[in-house]
Structure 1
Amino acid sequence: MEIPDERPIWSMSGNELLTALDTNEAAIARLQADRIRMIARLDEIGHAQHLGATTTAELLAMRYRLDRRDAHREVKLARTLPRYTTVSAALPNPAGPLETPVLRPAQAQAIVLTLETVPDRVPVENIVVAEQQLVNLAQHLSPGELRKAGKEIRDLLDSDGPEPAEEKAYERESLTLTDADHGVAFRGFVANENAELLRSLVHAHARPHKTADGELDPRSREKRQADALTTTLTIAAAAAESGAVPGVGAKANITVTIDLQDLTAATADAIGHVVYGDALSAATIRRLACDAKIIPLILGSNSEPLDVGRAERLVTPAMRRALNARDKGCVICAAPPISCDAHHLRSWIDGGETSINNLALICRRHHTALHAGHWTITITNGKVHV
């Protein structure tokens, strides 16, 4: 790849601009790859401590005015990259010709840091195969897409599947509200299907809208997302006060794609794919389907839709009204009906009937624990026993 003659940018044609940009991108990728190797060597010899810094990441953050999170991520990549020979070999070679790299450093970071989350129980040879697959995918995937693909491969490699990680993620859920001038500031974390629910609601209401005179939406992305959250809260409040049956009609649509055999077997490594977030375990999808509107979609071998079935709500408003009257809330902790799902004692996918004698109200927190086997619920003579 040759560097074109130095000419003013304004005088270049489109093809000349792309050629120059290709050269710049190749040079930047080479410099970034060299940078990773330099960071690795600095960390190896402990030079940061000689300069008074606690760690190499602290040195990078202070010297180059980086966010500490980014500095720690770069040092972690530099330390772990030597263990991934296929990724290392695909990065730009400082001694080779200046050409478009097989793998850019940002893609290498996405692959390596994702593979680092694979549990130790997975055989090394399986990780090597996964590494090669991800490097091949890097020819047409961005770093974000590689991270998503890597997580899917990680879940397939792990014989225990994503369920243990999902359980830990639920435990980390939090929300902190802090008073602020004319409002409230908040931060937190929601996991798994709760995260997908939040994303889907915000995405649905955050789309830009033209103004009354036809101009583009003047709101920033952050403002549109804040407005979407406010809209969602307003709809939820209106549903709670409308006199509707608590727990019916206020749920958003979450799209999940999973093989029917995987859903039925619910083995540890069976996963389903959602639109915005990470894959969900079959066990979690079975729990979601306890109290949902199901629209079956049959896909062909190339994922093309072949047939779309009719929507079927498993628990009707009449059933929900009867459950609310009988259980009066979560049968484990007495949380109000609006906070509860209708749980199938025998799963509908296993042939369990959607009837009052096979249903009980369970709050979201205990519904998750119930599917993990923490309790057993039975119904005798119309009474629920835990």
Structure 2
Amino acid sequence: MAEVERLARRVDSARLRLVARADSGRVAERTGHTDTGAWLAQTTNGDRRPASRDVRLAAALSAPTAPSADDPTAAAAGDGVLSLVAPPPGPDLAQTAAALDDGRISAEHARVITGAMAELPEGLGTEARRQCETELLRLATSHAPAVLRRHARRVLETVEPDEDVVDAHEESVLADEEARAVEAAAFWIKDNSDGTMTGHFTVPWASGIILKKVIDAMTAPRRRATSGGAVGTAPSDLAALTGDARVDQLDWQHRRGLALADLLARIPTDHLSTKIAATLLITTRLEDLRGQLTRAGRTDAGDHLDAGTTRRMACGAGIIPLVLDGASQPLDLGRQRRLHTEAQRLALTTRYDQCAADGCDRPFAWCEIHHLDPWAQGGSTDVDDAAPLCGRHHRMLHGPDWQHTTHRAPDDTVTIHFHRRT
């Protein structure tokens, strides 16, 4: 099996080299396609999105220069036939290209490595970059791409002894991931006309893990002692909720589908809750929660969140933060932090119709309640210290690229003005 996998990876490498040649030879332009991804999708009868991802990877692994007119490996004019000889890989990724050629890593591993190398700080020397690539390749030979991606965020520590610099780099990478995740968010649902509906969604990781935790909690079996002393599986909470005693006989995918249906049926429709309907444990330092530093927070689901997302969730959601001081001693564990009540939200509706950010017309019902004086710095949870912010402006407020000023009017309403940092 390992040999077959290695052969498949080498074929993938040859395919990517051919794609790189097509891209550098401008085959798409000569054949009337909008770009190389469109040409590749049509040529292989494949989907556009994975084809475009392959083009990006092939380009990253190859030199960016186009072949000259007298290049013997250039594409044959008119017939669309290409040589398998691709331009040599760029100096940054020569080791990665060689490992993919040899089948030691997969295309997905190479995708993670090229992304991590592109995110390394500007000004890092050639030798330092080579050491980082070597370390990523070492990790790739013993880790799945998803695990490699988590290690790759801190690959800078291979050459950087200052932990604060590594922390800042990881925070920057996570913040960029969060921004791309927000841009990629999507949802669709269609009626199958047979009593069912089918949908698909893409959401940022923090939102998705909350849904996963809720579904897992609803479908997890509970252990109990039977009357005879043996340990058995009690009817799940889902069976109690659905009234279907057969639920323990269903496969797990079916159980999760029923759990999602039950969850959707129980979402309040008279108002929107201000709490995120799950508990997500995040380990961070007190200084980072206050916004004084920028170290990523680690979740109990095994991944990391950038500091801005952690602070935003702590500001408006029912998370339980595990806050550590400089000696990594727990300062607060198990206490939901300073949530505004529904009565306070109702009182704020008499002052605000929409987001408090200057020029934003998103309605109040879409907003989260923000502490004008941060709770972690002594702010209070009262109406005078609260203002509604839509999700976009709440992210901006806790992000690294924006600063803000606050103006309070005579009627006690507050307007928050945002300015991009220079």
Per the TM superposition, whether the score is higher than 0.5 is yes
Distance in 1, matches of 2:251 and 2:100, equals: 41
Distance in 2, matches of 1:214 and 1:294, equals: 30
User: What is residue 367 of structure 1 aligned with on the other side?
Assistant: 394
User: What are the superposed Cα offsets for residues 198-241 of structure 1, whole Å, 9 maximum, x if unpaired?
Assistant: 4444554466979846864246x3x6555444333222227x47
User: What is residue 343 of structure 1 aligned with on the other side?
Assistant: 370
Distance in 1, matches of 2:59 and 2:362, equals: 50
Scaled by the length of structure 2, what TM-score is found? 0.62
Distance in 2, matches of 1:138 and 1:162, equals: 20
Distance in 2, matches of 1:197 and 1:75, equals: 33
User: What is residue 376 of structure 1 aligned with on the other side?
Assistant: 406
Query: Quick one: which amino acid aligns to residue 333 of structure 2?
Result: G
Alpha-carbon distance, 1:137 to partner:
1.7
Distance in 2, matches of 1:61 and 1:334, equals: 39
User: What are the superposed Cα offsets for residues 56-84 of structure 1, whole Å, 9 maximum, x if unpaired?
Assistant: 54554345443332232223222211231
Alpha-carbon distance, 1:176 to partner:
5.2
Matched, 1:80 2:60: yes
Tell me if the contact between 2:285 and 2:323 (Cα under 8 Å) persists in the aligned partners.
Answer: no
Query: Quick one: which amino acid aligns to residue 109 of structure 1?
Result: R
Query: Quick one: which amino acid aligns to residue 287 of structure 1?
Result: R
User: What is residue 260 of structure 1 aligned with on the other side?
Assistant: 286
SS across alignment from 2:105: coil
Change (3 A) 1:297 1:159: closer
Alpha-carbon distance, 1:88 to partner:
2.3
Q: Percent identity?
A: 26
User: What are the superposed Cα offsets for residues 244-286 of structure 1, whole Å, 9 maximum, x if unpaired?
Assistant: xx7466632233232333333444x532234669743322322
Matched, 1:385 2:414: yes
Matched, 1:157 2:169: yes
Distance in 2, matches of 1:156 and 1:249, equals: 29
Matched, 1:25 2:5: yes
Alpha-carbon distance, 1:138 to partner:
1.2
Distance in 2, matches of 1:56 and 1:128, equals: 29
Query: Quick one: which amino acid aligns to residue 385 of structure 1?
Result: V
Change (3 A) 1:132 1:263: farther
SS across alignment from 2:266: helix
Matched, 1:231 2:248: no
Alpha-carbon distance, 1:289 to partner:
1.3
User: What is residue 338 of structure 2 aligned with on the other side?
Assistant: 314
Change (3 A) 1:299 1:77: same
User: What is residue 325 of structure 1 aligned with on the other side?
Assistant: 347
User: What is residue 145 of structure 1 aligned with on the other side?
Assistant: 147
Tell me if the contact between 1:327 and 1:361 (Cα under 8 Å) persists in the aligned partners.
Answer: no
Higher relative contact order (CA 8 A, sep 6+): 1
Query: Quick one: which amino acid aligns to residue 230 of structure 1?
Result: A
Alpha-carbon distance, 1:376 to partner:
1.7
Tell me if the contact between 2:13 and 2:101 (Cα under 8 Å) persists in the aligned partners.
Answer: yes
2:100 is aligned, of 67, 91, 97, to: 91
Q: How does 1:131-142 map to 2 (within 5 A)?
A: 131-142=133-144
Change (3 A) 1:171 1:184: same
Alpha-carbon distance, 1:29 to partner:
3.3
Distance in 1, matches of 2:319 and 2:190, equals: 39
User: What are the superposed Cα offsets for residues 35-66 of structure 1, whole Å, 9 maximum, x if unpaired?
Assistant: 43344345445567778877654554345443
2:311 is aligned, of 282, 286, 293, to: 286
Change (3 A) 1:264 1:130: farther
Tell me if the contact between 1:161 and 1:270 (Cα under 8 Å) persists in the aligned partners.
Answer: no
Change (3 A) 1:299 1:378: same
Q: How does 1:173-252 map to 2 (within 5 A)?
A: 173=185, 175=187, 181=193, 182=195, 189-191=202-204, 193-205=206-218, 212=245, 216-218=249-251, 221=253, 226-237=257-268, 240=270, 247=273, 251-252=277-278
User: What are the superposed Cα offsets for residues 158-191 of structure 1, whole Å, 9 maximum, x if unpaired?
Assistant: 7856546645654665555666635666555544
Distance in 2, matches of 1:226 and 1:379, equals: 50
Distance in 2, matches of 1:129 and 1:265, equals: 33
Query: Quick one: which amino acid aligns to residue 406 of structure 2?
Result: T
Scaled by the length of structure 1, what TM-score is found? 0.67
Query: Quick one: which amino acid aligns to residue 133 of structure 2?
Result: E
Alpha-carbon distance, 1:321 to partner:
1.8
For structure 2, list consecutive stretches of 5 or more residues without a partner in the other structure. Answer: 62-88, 157-166, 222-235, 416-422
SS across alignment from 2:264: helix
Query: Quick one: which amino acid aligns to residue 60 of structure 2?
Result: T
For structure 1, list consecutive stretches of 5 or more residues without a partner in the other structure. Answer: 1-20, 94-100
